[in-house]
Amino acid sequence: AAARGAGETPDLESYRGVGIFIEQHGGQAAPVAWELAGIGRKLADKLGVELIGFVAGHQVEAVAQEAVERGCDRVLVMDHPALGVYRNEAYARVLTPVIREVKPEIFLLGATTTGRDLAGTIATTLQTGLTADCTQLDVDPETRLLDAIRPAFLEKQLAVILCKKHRPQMATVRPKMMEPAPRQPGRQGEIVRVPVDLDESTLRTRVLGVIDEPDPQAQLERADVVVAGGRGLQDPKNLKLLFDFAQVVGGVVGASRAIVDAGWIGREHQVGQTGLTVRPKVYFAFGISGAIQHTVGMENSELIVAVNKDPDAPIFKVADLGVVGDLFAVVPALQAELARR
């Protein structure tokens, strides 16, 4: 994972602490920020070091305060009008020197569109290693090495990637894989305002406007209830079954890749390895076989309810409640029962 030809970070031992990038948009923290706070706190406690939040943006006081309440010991706030809307150049230019000065031994970002974009720029500038899209993280307090764990070979193996000779050890973390840190109102921590020297006229990109479109992917990722269907629906016209059910239970429709590839439904509905990772309170899987590439995107749901006519379908291995039966009979019956309550 080390940057090629970059040699070794000279003062490796002087790096201490766990840093997390608190992603926010318009003063609203991205859910992954608090997931990083959760795992970051665990790593910091194991190493006996502080958890440091890095917040960049404009008018982000409330986010910084919440970062303390979610477990950060220290929050560094970089506030400037030019950071109001995310731009790689502006954010990297402001964050990189601060990371260089603070010297956290670990630095984490969410594997979101923003986090993936920013992490690469920061890692190359700092000439350190970056493990992208981790699904688990651990640390060895003896060696102080981060185990950055991510699926490899079509998710069939888990690769543990170590960054031995460079600091910080950087990783992006797939959203929804980590338990979010609970908010503890009244928790004390230090909020430090870092002066930002950024001249808008020196930036190569200019934000002309922001078009706020409803984002179906975000809707699915945040849904408390997901109603997902697969090839067992047999025909695109039967998708109506899913949408009707979703309406009754207040859910958002998800899909297996099989029916996305078949063109029955848009890719924004796809759950799994090459789709979205979801972690709703309830996940309904109707006519989905439960291939590993699908389950990796939903197995952390709180309650999984599966309907499949094949008793040996692998979906039943991850399901909390399973009905072996024909979905065309079971789903309408379940819907009628739920509507009645």
Q: Which residues bind ligand FAD (CB under 6 A)?
A: 154, 230-232, 256-259, 270-275, 287-289, 291, 293-294, 297, 307-310, 313, 326-328
Q: Least Å distance between CB 86 and ligand FAD?
A: 26
Give whichever of 104 and 232 is closer to ligand FAD, judged by the CB atom. Answer: 232
**Beta strand segments in the chain, E:** 18-21, 24-25, 28-29, 51-57, 74-79, 106-110, 130-134, 136-139, 146-152, 157-161, 169-173, 190-193, 225-229, 252-255, 282-286, 303-308, 321-324
d(CA 2, CA 172): 15
Q: Least Å distance between CB 154 and ligand FAD?
A: 5
Give whichever of 10 and 311 is closer to ligand FAD, judged by the CB atom. Answer: 311
Query: In terms of residues, how long is the chain?
Result: 341
CA 313 to mean position of chain CA atoms: 28
Q: Least Å distance between CB 233 and ligand FAD?
A: 8
d(CA 81, CA 239): 46
Q: What region, left, alpha or beta, does residue 109 occupy, with left being phi > 0 and alpha being psi -120 to 50 degrees?
A: beta
d(CA 87, CA 211): 15
> In whole angstroms, how large is the CA radius of gyration of the chain?
22
Q: Least Å distance between CB 327 and ligand FAD?
A: 4
Q: Least Å distance between CB 252 and ligand FAD?
A: 16
Give whichever of 326 and 337 is closer to ligand FAD, judged by the CB atom. Answer: 326
Give whichever of 193 and 240 is closer to ligand FAD, judged by the CB atom. Answer: 240
Give whichever of 129 and 280 is closer to ligand FAD, judged by the CB atom. Answer: 280
